Structure 1
């Protein structure tokens, strides 16, 4: 069905809106209610983007491929997961809102910018996402809580991201970190004990992008221990 260019391990890339919607339907089987929420979220994102720069304007015509499917693909790496999902630097709710719509996992959206948090609160209220909490704060100021899954689409360089979020991780925490074309390079710069937690997966929405997927607790960087 999907005939885009082949990425890592020959995985075909979603190149247009038709393919993106078809893949979401095939891989994640949304209910009619979930489809409706995705449609409304996409529309709200487009509308709000005229008021504040949430995503690049050039990506709006391919919003389903570049943003909705790009976010939804993370669930394929944690489809049977349960428990709190923390989305760092959630911005306009990517991937956090999309994941919350499709999985109904308890979701904490961490975002420090007030206007983006206002948008996130408007989205969660309109879509009836009672299982989503918006934390308008810097990650450093949040109370520690155990995360079953941690995601971050465009939050910080990998080393700093892990250092800041280590206290939220447990031995079973799932890490889902889209890192673009620099994934392998950033991974190689980590302490060896951290490197062993992760492997690289191909993004379904960009032949040049990759996702770092890992499981485990991030320990002390200075001691090099897990």
Structure 2
């Protein structure tokens, strides 16, 4: 686990950290602000995020999503697959801050409508939204696979294994249960991952891994 400074505690601190870590252009800052406004407005129509987190939106959702990009700074055009993208967290935040092609996987129609609308209105040509359960999506090699509150870890890896390659980077926020969930995996899977401390919550952790989840590993301890 890497050493991380004191977690971000204010909206100003979250914005400052994003500025230092990613040096967003004025256009990217504008898109982040517009995304936040659209997310808050849409939350009145469908429950995308907990209403109690709106006052700390930049810490709880924007910086929390952006930090995943700091764990995969590889250049290139490799596909980033965001599973259960929901409100576009982290997918839309990453798509704003980088030029990586982004595949947002979401099975709920209203959420997909929101994701498509935001991507179109913000001019995010690098975003594609797929409206289907993960099991029904055709295989595409993922350079990066992220998932924020998508499924228990063993199920998540089992469902997404076919999208992984030998060079896939896994970025999986798992809150305070990261170590416990990791310990329940088959040993070959455990060895692929390490735990990173979240920059936004002292009690939350992120599982960062590399490699292909092989079918022959399933069920082996």
TM range (shorter): over 0.9
Question: Contact between 2:4 and 2:199, CA under 8 Å: does it hold in 1?
Answer: no
Pick from 17, 20, 24: which aligns with 2:18?
Answer: 24
Shift of 1:11: 2.4
Pick from 210, 217, 222: which aligns with 2:218?
Answer: 222
Pick from 82, 86, 103: which aligns with 1:91?
Answer: 86
**CA 1:223–1:179: 2 relative to 1, 3 Å:** closer
Q: Secondary structure at the match of 1:87?
A: strand
Q: Secondary structure at the match of 1:207?
A: coil
Q: Which TM-score applies when normalising by structure 1?
A: 0.94
Task: Give the RMSD, CA atoms, in angstroms.
Answer: 1.4
Please give the alpha-carbon distance, in whole angstroms, between the structure 2 residues aligned to 1:81 and 1:50: 37
Determine the structure 2 residue equivalent to 1:3: none
- Identify unmatched segments of 5+ residues in structure 2: none
Question: Contact between 2:145 and 2:168, CA under 8 Å: does it hold in 1?
Answer: yes
Q: Which TM-score applies when normalising by structure 2?
A: 0.96
Alignment partner of 1:136 is 2:121: no
Question: Contact between 1:11 and 1:202, CA under 8 Å: does it hold in 2?
Answer: no
> In the TM superposition, what are the counterparts of 1:63-142 in structure 2 within 5 Å?
63-82=57-76, 83-142=78-137
Please give the alpha-carbon distance, in whole angstroms, between the structure 1 residues aligned to 2:144 and 2:4: 27
- Identify unmatched segments of 5+ residues in structure 1: 1-6
Which segments of structure 1 move beyond 4 Å, counting only runs of 4 or more? Answer: none
Deviation track 1:180-213 (CA, whole Å, cap 9, x = no partner) reads: 0000000000000000000000000111000000
Alignment partner of 1:36 is 2:30: yes
Deviation track 1:72-95 (CA, whole Å, cap 9, x = no partner) reads: 000100012431000000001000
Pick from 187, 194, 203: which aligns with 1:208?
Answer: 203
Q: How many aligned positions are there? A: 219
